[in-house]
Amino acid sequence: MADRPHPSSTISGPHDGTTFSYIPGDTLAIHPSLTLHKEWTDKIDPITYEVIRHNLWNINEELGMTIQRISGSPVAMYAFDLNSSIFTEDGEFIYYGPYQLYMSGVSDVQVKWTLEYRSQNPGIFEDDMFLSNDPWVGAAHQMDVTLLTPVFWDGKLFCWITNVLHQYDVGGITPGSFCPNARDSFDEGILIPPVKIVERGELRRDIEGVYLRASRKPYLVALDLRAQIAGNNTAKRRILGLIRRYGPEVVKGVMRKIIDNAEQAFLQKLAKLPDGVWRERSYVEVAYVGDRKTYQVMLNMQKKGDRLVFDNAGTAPQVGAINTTYSGWRGSIMTAINELLCWDQLYAIGGALRHIEFQPSLGAFTSAAHPASVSTAPVQAMEISLYPAYNTISKLLSGDPELKRDAMCIGGTSQFPLTVFRGIDQWGEKFGYLLLDPMVGAIGAFSFRDGIATGGQVRSPICRIGNVEHNEQSFPLLVLYRRENTDSGGAGKFRGGNSAAVSFIPHGTDGIVQDTESSGAAIPTAPGLMGGYPANTNYYRFKRGTDIQQWLARREIPGDVGEVSGEDVLLQLRQIDIQQGPDDVYEVAFAAGAGYGDPIERDPEAVRKDVYLGDVSAHAARELFRVVLAGEEEDLRVDVTATAALRRQAVVERLGREPKPYAGPRLPLLRHLTDCLDLVKSDGRPWLGCARCGQPLCDAHENYKLHCHRIDRPIQAANTLIGDPRRFIDDDVQFRQFCCPACGGLVENEVCRTADPVLRDIELDVE
C-alpha cells in the first residue's frame, strides 16, 4: 500500500529524496534495461517450504554475525547497532534481522529509491553494491550506513540483501557525529544517496576515498565497510546456493509464500479487533543548547477493516537538532508493528505492509525536510515515534482476549540519554565515542506479568551491552558502578522492569570532554497502560572536585554519587564541552519500563517480594502500591488488615468520598475494549462502561475520560525517582488520573503538560 503525505503537511514538493523525503509511489519507475526475476511456483511441499524458509532466516542472521566478527567495533559487538534484511526483486520485505529493528525499517525505501534512480545510470548489475546514508532517501541518520546488494540469477535481478551498521564517525562538528548543537544537516556528517561503491565485484577506491575523507577515524570506517561487504557477500553466496539446489522458481516461490502467509496471519488478527482511532501523545524536551521548551509528538492510528493508517498530525514543526525524516518515523513504527503484530511470522513484515499506510505530516519534526538537523534522530525523534506506537497498538490488541497477551507497555530508555565523550585516551591518541550502557534498558509490563529489569531495548530483541572491563580497556574510563535502580519501573498491577545507572571517572588521562543530549528528564516518556504508572525519567548527576581518589586509595568504591563529597553540578539536557577531571564523578541513569493496571490491585505478596529483593523501596510500597509491611529481611511480611484499609483509603482519596460501585444490572456486553473499559449496549446504542463494576460512563461516540472522575497531580507523584521538571523546562507537567466515578478503579492515566487538553486516546467507529 503506497504512503501519501498527510493533509496537515506544511511543505510540499517532489518526494524524491532531495529536499523532501523519498516516498515510493504505487508503482516504481524502473528502467527497462534492468530485468527483474518474476518467475515462481506455488508447487512447494511443506517440508521444502520450511527448510528454505528457515534457511533464509538463518542467512539473514548470519549476515549480521559476519559483520560483528569482522568489524570488532563495540557498536557492532556489544550494542548490536546493526541490522540485516532480505527483499524481493522490487523491494518488498521478506525478513528483518533480529538486531536493531528500526534499521531495517528504513531499508526498503532505499532499495526502491535505488531501483528508480540508479537503474538507468549508472545501472544495476551483477556483483554491484550501493552505499547510502542519506536520511531523505531512507537512512535513520548519517552514521547508520546502508550497503545494498542486488542478487542476480541468469541475468535477472532476483532479490536484494542489505545491511545497516552504525559508523564510528562520518564527520560533522562533534566527534562521533552526534551533533547536539547542529543548526542543520550542514553541521553534521556527510550525506550520501545510494552510490555504487562496489562495481562488478571491485571496490571503487575513488568512491571509498570520498566516503572515508569525512571521518575522523577513517581506518575504523574502512574496516566496517569491509565487514559490511563481507556480510552481504556471505548472504549472497548462501542464497545462490539455495537457488542452485532447489531452483530459482522454488526459492522465489518460498519468498512469496513467506510474505503471503504473513499477510494472512496479519489479516486474521485485524479481523478480531474493533475499528476506530487510537492516539498517543508524548513530548521531546530541549531542541538545542540553551532551549527550555517542549515539543509535542502525536501518533494517530486508524484501524478500518483490513487496514491500518498511521499519521503524525499534531506534531510540532521541525526545529533545532531533534528531527527525523519520514523514513525514520515510518521505520520506527514498523518496529512496534513487527514486535506486536508480526512476531509469530519471524518479522516478515512485508505481508502486513500491504495493508498499512503511513501518512507523514511533512514539516513536522518527526518527518522533517532537508536541511533539518537529523544526526540525533534514532535517540530522540525516532524513539519518540517508536514507543508511543507500542501503546496505540497495545490498546488496539486489548480488544481481543487472546491478542491482549501480546500487549506490552513502553520499555526502558524510551529516550536515550546520550553521553558523548572525547579527548586523549590512555595511549595518547584522540578518541570520541558514546556511552552505550543505556542499551540495557528495561522491558515494560505486560497484560499478565511484570516487565523485565534491565531486559534490553525492545527495538533490539537480542541487544546487549559491553562488559565494564572492555569499556575500560577501550576508553580512558574507570567505571565506579553499574547498578539497577530501585523504584525506577512504573508501578501497576504488573510492574515495569527496573532500569539502571552507570558512573565513571576519567582514568589514564588528564580529563575528558563530554556532551549531554537527552530528553525524557522532565516528562517521563514511558507512560503506563490501563491505569499503570509511568517509569522514572532519565537523569545526569555530576559532582565536581570529589574525594573519589581517597576512596580508591582506601580500596573502596562508592555505590552512589551521593556517597562522595564534592560540588553538585546540574547538567542540562543539551550541554556541550563539559570538562571532567579525574576527581569529577559522572552518573547517567535511564528510564525504565512502564506499569500495567492499577497499582493498588497488585498482589500484596508480590509487593513484599519486590521490597525483599530491592526492586521496590518500602516507601514506594506504601505510597504507590498502598501495601503495609512489617518486619525486616527474612521476617518481612504483609500486614493484611492494614493493607486493605490503606487501599480503601486510597480509593476514598481519589473520589473524595466512599466508593459506590454500580449496583444496577450490568448492560449487555458487546466486547471488552481494555481491562478497564467495556463496550456495552444501552437502549440499543453502544456505550462505554467500567469493566470492573459495570458503571455506564457515556455514549461510545464520546471521550470516556470526560465522564470519569479526574484527579490532577504533580508528575512527581507518579514515581519516586521523578524530580522537578522546572530544572530543565518552563512548562508545568501534570499526572492526570481518570477513575470510575462509582468504584474508583483507575481507567487510564495521562502524562502531559498542564495546559494540554484531555487526550481522546480511543475513538471507536461504531454505529
Q: What is the pLDDT of residue 538?
A: 96
The grid cell for 102 is 528500526
Q: Kindly tell me the sign of the dihedral angle through the C-alpha atoms of 11, 12, 17, 18.
A: negative
- Burial class from Cβ neighbours inside 10 Å (0-12, 13-18, 19+) for residue 198 reads buried
Q: What is the pLDDT of residue 462?
A: 84
Give the closest residue to 598 by CA, choosing from 456, 746, 754, 743.
Answer: 746
The grid cell for 133 is 546514508
Q: How many CA atoms lie within 13 A of 104 on its CB side?
A: 33
Give residue for cell 494472512. 264
180 or 270, higher pLDDT: 270
In the chain, % of residues over pLDDT 90: 90
Residues 6+ apart with CB under 8 A from 271: 306
Contact between residue 102 and residue 332 where contact means Cβ atoms under 8 Å apart: yes
For the stretch 691-703, pLDDT in tens is 999 999 999 999 9
Q: What is the pLDDT of residue 174?
A: 87
- Burial class from Cβ neighbours inside 10 Å (0-12, 13-18, 19+) for residue 755 reads exposed
Distance between CA 418 and CA 176 in Å, rounded? 12
Give the closest residue to 136 by CA, choosing from 103, 116, 106.
Answer: 106
Q: Is beta strand 356-359 parallel, antiparallel or unpaired with respect to 307-311?
A: parallel
Residue type, 139: A
Q: What is the pLDDT of residue 607?
A: 99
User: What DSSP string runs through 2-17?
Assistant: -----TT-S--S--SS
Q: What is the pLDDT of residue 1?
A: 66
Give the closest residue to 707 by CA, choosing from 694, 693, 692, 697.
Answer: 697
C-alpha distances in angstroms, 593 versus 356, 417, 536, 590?
Answer: 28, 15, 8, 10
Q: How confident is the model at residue 657 (pLDDT cuts 50, 70, 90)?
A: very high
Distance between CA 370 and CA 559 in Å, rounded? 46
The vertex-404 CA angle with 402 and 407, nearest 5°, equals: 140
Query: At 98, is the secondary structure helix, strand, or coil?
Result: coil
How large is the C-alpha radius of gyration of the chain?
26
Does residue 78 have a pLDDT over 80?
Answer: no
Does residue 345 have a pLDDT over 80?
Answer: yes
Ranking 65-74, 201-210, 311-320 by mean pLDDT, the lowest is: 65-74
Give the closest residue to 516 by CA, choosing from 653, 418, 646.
Answer: 418
Give the closest residue to 89 by CA, choosing from 266, 305, 350.
Answer: 350
Distance between CA 190 and CA 143 in Å, rounded? 9
Q: What is the pLDDT of residue 437?
A: 92
Contact between residue 352 and residue 261 where contact means Cβ atoms under 8 Å apart: no
Query: At 115, is the secondary structure helix, strand, or coil?
Result: helix
- Burial class from Cβ neighbours inside 10 Å (0-12, 13-18, 19+) for residue 562 reads exposed
For the stretch 541-565, pLDDT in tens is 999 999 999 999 999 999 999 999 9
What is the DSSP code (8-state) at residue 441?
B
Q: What is the pLDDT of residue 222?
A: 96
User: What DSSP string runs through 711-757?
Assistant: EEEEGGGG-TT---GGGT-SS-EEEEEEE-TTT--EEEEEEEETTSP
> Mean of the per-residue pLDDT values for the chain?
95
Cis peptide leading into residue 274 (ω within 30°): no
Residues 6+ apart with CB under 8 A from 352: 262, 263, 266, 337, 341, 342
Question: Per-residue pLDDT averaged across 232-252, rounded?
Answer: 98
Contact between residue 176 and residue 375 where contact means Cβ atoms under 8 Å apart: no
Q: Which residues pair with 362 in a beta bridge?
A: 364
Q: What is the pLDDT of residue 734?
A: 98
pTM: 0.96
Contact between residue 177 and residue 169 where contact means Cβ atoms under 8 Å apart: yes
Contact between residue 301 and residue 393 where contact means Cβ atoms under 8 Å apart: yes
Q: Which residues pair with 282 in a beta bridge?
A: 297
Q: Which residues pair with 426 in a beta bridge?
A: none
Query: At 451, is the secondary structure helix, strand, or coil?
Result: coil
Q: How confident is the model at residue 278 (pLDDT cuts 50, 70, 90)?
A: very high
Query: Taking the domains of the chain in order of start, what are their residue ranges?
Result: 46-263, 408-597, 599-674+676-764
Does residue 680 have a pLDDT over 80?
Answer: yes
Q: What is the pLDDT of residue 685?
A: 95
Contact between residue 195 and residue 207 where contact means Cβ atoms under 8 Å apart: yes
For the stretch 422-471, pLDDT in tens is 999 999 988 888 898 999 999 999 999 999 999 998 888 888 888 899 88
Q: How confident is the model at residue 75 (pLDDT cuts 50, 70, 90)?
A: confident
Q: What is the pLDDT of residue 5?
A: 85
Question: Per-residue pLDDT averaged across 331-360, rounded?
Answer: 95
Contact between residue 17 and residue 115 where contact means Cβ atoms under 8 Å apart: no
Q: What is the pLDDT of residue 176?
A: 87
In the chain, % of residues over pLDDT 70: 100
The grid cell for 83 is 541490522
Q: How confident is the model at residue 74 (pLDDT cuts 50, 70, 90)?
A: confident
For the stretch 279-307, pLDDT in tens is 999 999 999 999 999 999 999 999 999 99
Query: At 333, is the secondary structure helix, strand, or coil?
Result: helix
Q: What is the pLDDT of residue 594?
A: 98
Phi, psi dihedral angles at 407 (to 5 degrees):
-65, 145
For the stretch 513-539, pLDDT in tens is 999 999 999 999 999 999 999 999 999
For the stretch 33-60, pLDDT in tens is 999 999 999 999 999 999 999 999 999 9
The grid cell for 237 is 553466496
Query: At 331, is the secondary structure helix, strand, or coil?
Result: helix
Question: Per-residue pLDDT averaged across 596-616, rounded?
Answer: 98
Q: How many CB atoms lie within 10 A of CB 710?
A: 15
Give the closest residue to 472 by CA, choosing from 483, 464, 480.
Answer: 480
The vertex-338 CA angle with 105 and 266, nearest 5°, equals: 125
For the stretch 373-427, pLDDT in tens is 999 999 899 999 998 999 999 999 999 999 999 999 999 989 999 998 899 999 9
The vertex-49 CA angle with 45 and 53, nearest 5°, equals: 180
